[in-house]
C-alpha cells in the first residue's frame, strides 16, 4: 500500500497531442491537415478497459507517467499511473468514431454531465441516479465502472470532457479523505442546471 498523496506536475498527455488551444484538431505542419488520433491507437487504449494498469501491452507506448523506482522494486505502480491508465482507456472509448476532439480543456466532469442532462437524449431521473451512483462509489474500481457507462453516454451526444481534470479526479479517488472535495466539484458543476430559471 502506498502513501502517495499528491498529484504530480502536469505532463504532456496523449490526448493533448491532438487537441489545439481552440478545441479543434492540431494541424500537421507537413501535410497542413488536421492531426487526429489514429483508430489503431484508440483501439489499443480501449484494450485496457476493465484491466489493471500495464496489463495490456498494446497500451504501454501511451503511458507518460514516470515509473516510481521505489514502487517498481516492489512490482507496484503509483496511483498516478493507475489514474492515467483509467483516463487513457476512457478517452479511447470516448473518442471512438467522433469527428471532433472529445478532450476539451476546462470542461470538468460535472459540467459535461450537466450538458448530457440538458441534451434530452436520456431520462433526467435515470441520469441523476447514475450520477449519484458515481459519486457514492466506495472504491476506484466501482468508480470506473460508473464512469465507463457515463462516458459512453457522453460520446453518444458528442459532449467533450477535460481528461486532465478527469485523471486528477480518479487519482484523488484513491484517498477517502479527498473524495468529498471531488464530489463537491462534481455537484457544483452538475447541479448548476437548477440555477436556470424555468421557461414557460
pLDDT digits (tens, 9 = 90+) for 2-27: 444 444 445 689 999 999 999 999 99
Residues 102, 113: Cα–Cα separation, whole Å: 14
Q: In this predicted structure, what is the pLDDT of residue 197?
A: 47
Does the structure show a pLDDT above 80 at 181?
Answer: yes
Q: In this predicted structure, what is the pLDDT of residue 17?
A: 93
What are the tens digits of pLDDT across the range 75-123? 788 999 999 999 999 999 999 999 999 999 999 999 999 999 999 999 9
Cell of 132: 449519484
Cell of 72: 517498481
Query: All domains of the chain, ordered by start, with CATH?
Result: 14-193 (1.10.520.40)
Let me know how long the chain is: 200
Q: In this predicted structure, what is the pLDDT of residue 75?
A: 72
State the pLDDT confidence band at 195, using cuts at 50, 70 and 90: low
Residues 50, 89: Cα–Cα separation, whole Å: 9
- pTM for the whole thing? 0.89
Choose among 127, 98, 136: nearest CA to 19.
98
The dihedral of CA 46, 51, 52, 55: what is its sign?
Answer: negative
Tell me what percent of the residues of the chain surpass a pLDDT of 90: 82
Residues 49, 130: Cα–Cα separation, whole Å: 19
Q: In this predicted structure, what is the pLDDT of residue 117?
A: 96
Amino acid at each position: 500500500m502506498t502513501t502517495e498523496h499528491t498529484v504530480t506536475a502536469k505532463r504532456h498527455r496523449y490526448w493533448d497531442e491532438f487537441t489545439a488551444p481552440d478545441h479543434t484538431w492540431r494541424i500537421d505542419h507537413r501535410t497542413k491537415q488536421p492531426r487526429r488520433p489514429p483508430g489503431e491507437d484508440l483501439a489499443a487504449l480501449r484494450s485496457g478497459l476493465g484491466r489493471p494498469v500495464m496489463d495490456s501491452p498494446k497500451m504501454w507506448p501511451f503511458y507518460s507517467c514516470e515509473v516510481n523506482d521505489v514502487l517498481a522494486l516492489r512490482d507496484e505502480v503509483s496511483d498516478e499511473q493507475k489514474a492515467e491508465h483509467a483516463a487513457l482507456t476512457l478517452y479511447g472509448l470516448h473518442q471512438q468514431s467522433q469527428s471532433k476532439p472529445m478532450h476539451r480543456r476546462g470542461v470538468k466532469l460535472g459540467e459535461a454531465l450537466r450538458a448530457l442532462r440538458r441534451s434530452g437524449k436520456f431520462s433526467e431521473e435515470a441520469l441523476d441516479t447514475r450520477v449519484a451512483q458515481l459519486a457514492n462509489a466506495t472504491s476506484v474500481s466501482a468508480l470506473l465502472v460508473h464512469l465507463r457507462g457515463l462516458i459512453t453516454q457522453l460520446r453518444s451526444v458528442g459532449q467533450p470532457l477535460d481528461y486532465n481534470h478527469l485523471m486528477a479526479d480518479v487519482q484523488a479517488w484513491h484517498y477517502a479523505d479527498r473524495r468529498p472535495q471531488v464530489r463537491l466539484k462534481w455537484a457544483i458543476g452538475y447541479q448548476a442546471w437548477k440555477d436556470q430559471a424555468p421557461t414557460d
